[in-house]
Amino acid sequence: MANSHPARPMSPSLSRPRGAFMARARAGLRALWGEPALVLGLLLIGLLAQGLNMFNYPASTLVDDQGIYASQAWAVLREGRLSPYTYIYDHAPGGWILIAGWMWLTGGPGAYGDAIDSGRMLMLLLHLAMVPLLYHLARKLGAGMPLAALCAFLFSVSPLAVFYQRLLLLDTIMLFWVLLSLDLLLNGWGRLSRIVLSGACFGLALLSKEAAFFLLPGMLFIAVEDRRRHQGRFAVVSWVLPMVMVASAYPLYALLKGELFPSGTTASFSGSGYAGSNVSLLDALIWQVTRGGGGPFNLNNAFWELLRTDWLRRDAFLLVGGALAVFMNLVRGVRDRRALAAGLLGALPLLYLARGGVVFNYYILFAIPFLCLNLAVLLAPVFARIPARASGVLGVALAVMVISGYWYSGAFQPLYQERPDQAGREALTWIKEQVPSESLIIAPDSLWTDLRESSRGPAFPNVHSHWKVAADPDIRTGVFNDDWRTVDYLIMTPGLEDSFISSNNTVAREAKQNAQLLKRWEAAPGDGRLHQRQVIELWKVNKPGQLELTRLADSAGYTSRRFERDGAFVSPDGTVTSESQSYAMLRAVWSDDRAGFDRAWQWTRTHLIDRDGLPAWLWRDGAVTDPNTASDADVDIALALLFAGQRWDDPALLDAGKRMLPAIWRRDVAVVRGVPYLTAGDWGEPSSTIALNPSYFSPHAYPIFQAVDPDHNWTGLVDSSYQVLFAASSATFGRERSAGLPPDWVGLDRTTGALTPLPFDRADTTRYGYDAARTYWRVALHLRWNDDGRARAYLTTAGFLQNEVDREGRVRAVYQRDGTPTTTDSSLVGTAGALAALLTLNPATANVLYTGQLAAAAQPANPGVYWGHPDDLYAQAWGWFATAMYADALPNLWIRR
Which residues are catalytic, by number? 579, 632
Which residue type, as a one-letter code, is found at position 511?
Answer: A
Question: CB under 8 Å to 378, separation ≥6 — which residues?
Answer: 325, 328, 329, 332, 339
Pairing mode of beta strands 623-626, 675-678: unpaired
Distances (CA, A) of 826 to 548, 773, 801, 809, 868: 21, 12, 13, 11, 9
Check residue 75 and report its DSSP letter: I
Do the beta carbons of residue 339 and residue 329 sit within 8 Å?
yes
Determine if the peptide bond prior to 863 is cis (ω within 30°).
yes
Cα 784 from Cα 780, distance rounded (Å): 6
Cα 213 from Cα 235, distance rounded (Å): 20
Strand partners, 263: none
Strands (E) in 810-889, as ranges, are 859-860, 865-866
Cα 430 from Cα 447, distance rounded (Å): 13
Distances (CA, A) of 844 to 181, 471, 484, 756: 61, 30, 16, 36
Q: Helix or strand or coil: residue 619?
A: strand
Distances (CA, A) of 538 to 431, 486, 808, 810: 8, 16, 20, 19
Nearest CA to 550 among 440, 435, 456? 435
Cα 891 from Cα 302, distance rounded (Å): 58
Q: Rounded to the nearest 5°, which phi and psi values hold at 749?
A: -65, 125
Cα 777 from Cα 783, distance rounded (Å): 10
| Environment class of 838 (CB within 10 Å of its CB; exposed 0-12, middle 13-18, buried 19+) | buried
Do the beta carbons of residue 738 and residue 731 sit within 8 Å?
yes
Cα 661 from Cα 670, distance rounded (Å): 14
Residues listed for the chain: 897
How many Cβ atoms are within 10 Å of 400's Cβ, its own excluded? 10
Q: Rounded to the nearest 5°, which phi and psi values hold at 92?
A: -65, 150
Do the beta carbons of residue 532 and residue 57 sit within 8 Å?
yes
Strands (E) in 446-602, as ranges, are 463-465, 489-492, 515-523, 534-541, 564-565, 568-569, 575-577
What is the rounded (10 degree) CA torsion for 465, 469, 473, 474?
50
Check residue 481 and report its DSSP letter: T
Exposed e or buried b per residue across 760-776, where buried means at least 16 C-beta atoms within 10 angstroms of its C-beta? eeeeebbbbbbbbbbbb
Contacts made by residues 559-565, CB under 8 angstroms, sequence distance 24+: 559/584, 559/587, 559/866, 559/873, 559/876, 559/877, 559/880, 560/596, 561/863, 561/864, 562/861, 562/866, 562/870, 562/871, 562/876, 563/873, 563/876, 564/599, 564/600
